[in-house]
Structure 1
Amino acid sequence: MNIKKYLFSAFIISLVSVIGFGIISLLISDQKIRYFDSKVITAVQGLETPGLTEVMKFFTFIGSTKVVIILSLVLLFFLYKVLHHRLELILFASVIGGAGILNGVLKHLFQRARPNLHRLIEIGGFSFPSGHAMSAFALYGVIAFLFWRHISTRIGRTILIIVSCFMIFAIGISRIYLGVHYPSDIVGGYFASGFWLSAAIWVFQFYKEKRYNRKHTHNN
C-alpha cells in the first residue's frame, strides 16, 4: 500500500470513528440506548459460570493499566533493541499515552455512572467511555500496525489481525460480563480509541513521507 492510500485509509477510519462516537454520545445523553445496553448485558451475563467468570477476570486483568504499562515497556524495548525502530517508538508511546489521557478527559466530560445491576467485581470511577476498551484498542491496534510490515506471509498477517481483534473483543466483553460497564461504554471506547489511533498513524505516515521526500530531494 502506498503512502497516499495509507493516509486516505487513516483519514476515513478517523472520520468514521468520530461520527460513531458522536452518535453513541448523543444516544447516551438522550437515554435512547438503554434497550440496547440491557439486551446485551442480559445476553452476556446470562452465560455466567464459575469457570467463565475466572476467564473474564483474567482478560480484565490483562486490560488493566498496570499490565498495559508493563506490556508497553516490553514492546518499546523490543522495538528499540531488536527491530531498531526509532520513530516508531514515538508513535507507540503517543498512541498508548494519548489514549489514556483522552479517556480521562472524556470520562470527566460525560460523568456517566457505572451500571449497578449484577457486579462480579467492584470498581470506582465513571463509566463512559471504557478505559479498558480504549487501551486495548490502542495497544493491540498499534501492535498490528507496527508488526504488519515485519510479517511477509499472508497466514502470519492473518494470525496477527485475528489475535489483535480477539484481545480487543475479549477485554471489552469481560467488562460487560463482570457488570462494570454498559455495552455502549465499550463501543464508545472503541470509537474514541479508533479515532486517536488512526489520527496518530496519519500524522506518523505524513511525517515519514515528508522526511523521505526531503531526503531524496536533497540527494538529487
Structure 2
Amino acid sequence: MQNEIRSLIHQFRQLLSRLFKKYDDKLPYIILSIIAILLVVGGIKIFVELTENLKTTTLGEFDTNTSTYIHSFRNATLTDYFIFITNVGDVYGYLVVFILCNLSFILIFKNWQYVIQLSIVLVLALSSNVILKKIINRSRPELEHLVTVETLSYPSGHAMTAMAFYGFLIYLFYRFKINPISKTIIIILLSFLILSIGISRIYLGVHFPSDILGGFIAGFIWVILCALIFNFIRVFRRDPKT
C-alpha cells in the first residue's frame, strides 16, 4: 500500500513538473487569475449577504448613524462641492470623461482596445445596476433630498458605476508605462473621486450608506471580472499554440 501511495505521489510530482515547464511563461497569469476568481466569488458572496440583511435592525442602525454623522457636516460650501461631484458621477459627467479618455487612448497610447474595454465595463455596470434596482426594489431614504432623484435606491448607481468606470481606469493606468509619480497621482485622484461620489449620495440625502457599499462591491466585481477576461483574451491570443 505504501509503495502504491509513493508511486502516486511521484506521478503527481512529475505531472506538476511537466505542467509548470509547459506553462512557465503563463504561470504568473494563472496565479493572478486564481486570485481574481477568488475575489469575484468573495465579492458576490458579500454582496448577496449585504442584500439579504437590508431590512435588519443592525444594518438599519448603521445606515441611520452613518447618515446622521455625515449630515452633521452640511454647509453651503460642502453642499456645492458634493453637488458638483455627484454630477461628475452622472450621465453627462461620464460622457465628458469617457470622450477625453478615449481621445487619450487613441491619440497618445494608439490603442483601440482600451476604448472597447472601457465601453464594455461602463455598459455592463449601467445595465446591471438597472436590473439589480428593479429586482431588489428598495425605496430611497425618507430624508431631505438636496438633489432630484427618480430611480430606486439599492445598489447606488453612482457608487457602482464610479467604482466600475474609474476603478477600471485605475487598473489601466496601473498597467500603463508612464512616469511613476504621474501614475501614482492619477491613481490617488481617481480613488478619491470614487470615494467622494459615494459620500456625496449620502450627504445629499438620496442614498443609505448600505446602498453605497452595495454599489462599490458590485462595481468592484465588474472591474476584477472584466480585467480577468480581457487579460485572458490578450495572453492566449499571443500564444501560437492556441
Calculate the TM-score normalised by the size of structure 1.
0.91
* CA shift for structure 1 position 31: 5.4
Kindly tell me: are residues 156 and 82 of structure 1, through their superposed partners in 2, closer, same or farther at Cα, counting changes over 3 Å? closer
Sequence identity percentage: 30
Are 2:239 and 1:208 aligned? Answer: no
SS of equivalent to 2:167: helix
Kindly tell me: are residues 153 and 76 of structure 1, through their superposed partners in 2, closer, same or farther at Cα, counting changes over 3 Å? closer
Structure 1 residue identity aligned to 2:184: T
CA distance in 2, matches of 1:105, 1:113: 15
CA distance in 1, matches of 2:102, 2:181: 25
CA distance in 2, matches of 1:7, 1:156: 28
RMSD: 1.9
SS of equivalent to 1:33: helix
* Larger RCO: 1 or 2 (CA < 8 Å, sep 6+): 1
| Length, aligned pairs only | 216
Q: Which runs of 5+ in 1 are unaligned?
A: none
Matches within 5 A, 1:129-140: 129-140=155-166
Residues 79 and 85 of structure 1 are in contact (CA less than 8 Å); yes or no, is this contact kept in structure 2?
yes
Are 2:49 and 1:16 aligned? Answer: no
Q: 2:185 aligns with which of 159, 172, 189?
A: 159
Deviates more, 1:154-163 or 1:121-130: 154-163
CA distance in 2, matches of 1:29, 1:202: 34
* CA shift for structure 1 position 197: 1.5
SS of equivalent to 1:143: helix
**Quick check: which has more Rg, 1 or 2?**
2
CA distance in 2, matches of 1:103, 1:193: 9
Calculate the TM-score normalised by the size of structure 2.
0.83
- Deviation track 1:37-57 (CA, whole Å, cap 9, x = no partner) reads 001000000001111111111
Q: 2:97 aligns with which of 61, 67, 71?
A: 71
* CA shift for structure 1 position 2: 3.8
Residues 154 and 214 of structure 2 are in contact (CA less than 8 Å); yes or no, is this contact kept in structure 1?
yes
Consecutive aligned runs of 4 or more in structure 1 exceeding 6 Å deviation: none
SS of equivalent to 2:239: helix
* CA shift for structure 1 position 159: 1.9
- Deviation track 1:47-101 (CA, whole Å, cap 9, x = no partner) reads 0111111111111111111211221122122212221113222211110111000
Structure 1 residue identity aligned to 2:204: L
- Deviation track 1:175-200 (CA, whole Å, cap 9, x = no partner) reads 00000000000000001111111111
Alignment correspondent of 1:191? 217
SS of equivalent to 2:154: coil
* CA shift for structure 1 position 5: 4.0
Are 2:70 and 1:28 aligned? Answer: no
Structure 1 residue identity aligned to 2:98: S
Are 2:77 and 1:58 aligned? Answer: no
